[in-house]
Amino acid sequence: MSYPLPLDNRFMNPSGTESELNQFLENALNSHFKTLYLLPCFIRPAKEFLFSSEIIISSVVGYPLGANTLETKVFETLNAVLNGADEIELVLNMSSILSHRYDLVKEEIDQVLKACQGQTLGLLIRLEWMSKAEILELAQLLSISEVRFVRSANTVDESISERIQWLKEAIKNRNIEVKSALNSTNE
């Protein structure tokens, strides 16, 4: 299927009912969304509902704050892939970034990427907590990784827009897409 615009949507409501999920998925089919971002508990039912569709199912690991242990994130990734996720969005451990422990950040990315078993890996980061130097350091780390996209974890405002530009500029020669936060009524 060809998408006139790469439309994404998300259903991240932990109290969302099966009926609400099915309505969301039906709307996604009718609206020709490219990617749906779902909580891990919704991956399998969504995959079954959308079985003949080309819609990409993406799920989060370490959500919402990224403070899970590496072992937990690896397990979450393996479980999401087993349940049918086409794409994993890893919430990075911001403590490691802000402590300038890029060795730990690299290990986290590498281990989760391995657990992805060939599925796409993207990152969810809190740019508003990062200085320009930290963003540039992270960008350097990303330039040697197989991460396919990076998303700002919050709604874009002026300070976030500037940080997104820093990141885009720093990785412009890499095959890494920079996305802003998704806004949706389904949260």
Compute the CA torsion angle 10, 16, 18, 21 (nearest 10 deg).
-20
pLDDT, residue 160, reads 85
- From first to last of its 187 residues, what are the pLDDT tens digits of the chain? 554 556 889 999 999 999 999 999 999 999 989 999 999 999 999 999 999 999 999 999 999 999 999 999 999 999 999 999 999 999 999 999 999 999 999 999 999 999 999 999 999 999 989 999 999 999 999 988 999 999 987 766 777 889 999 999 999 888 899 987 654 444 4
The edge-to-edge listing of strands for the beta sheet with 56-61 is: 8-11, 35-38, 56-61, 87-91, 120-125, 149-152, 177-179
**pTM for this model (two decimals):** 0.90
Contact 153, 181 (CB under 8 A): yes
CATH number for the domain running over 8-179: 3.20.20.70
How many contiguous H segments (helices) and E segments (strands) does the chain have? Answer: 7, 7
Cα(9)–Cα(27) distance, rounded to whole angstroms? 10
The Cα-based distances of 162 to 15, 109, 131, 134 in angstroms read 34, 25, 11, 14
Q: Is 12 exposed, middle or buried (0-12, 13-18, 19+ CB in 10 A)?
A: middle
Contact 57, 50 (CB under 8 A): yes
What residue segments make up the domains of the chain, in order of their start? 8-179
pLDDT, residue 6, reads 65
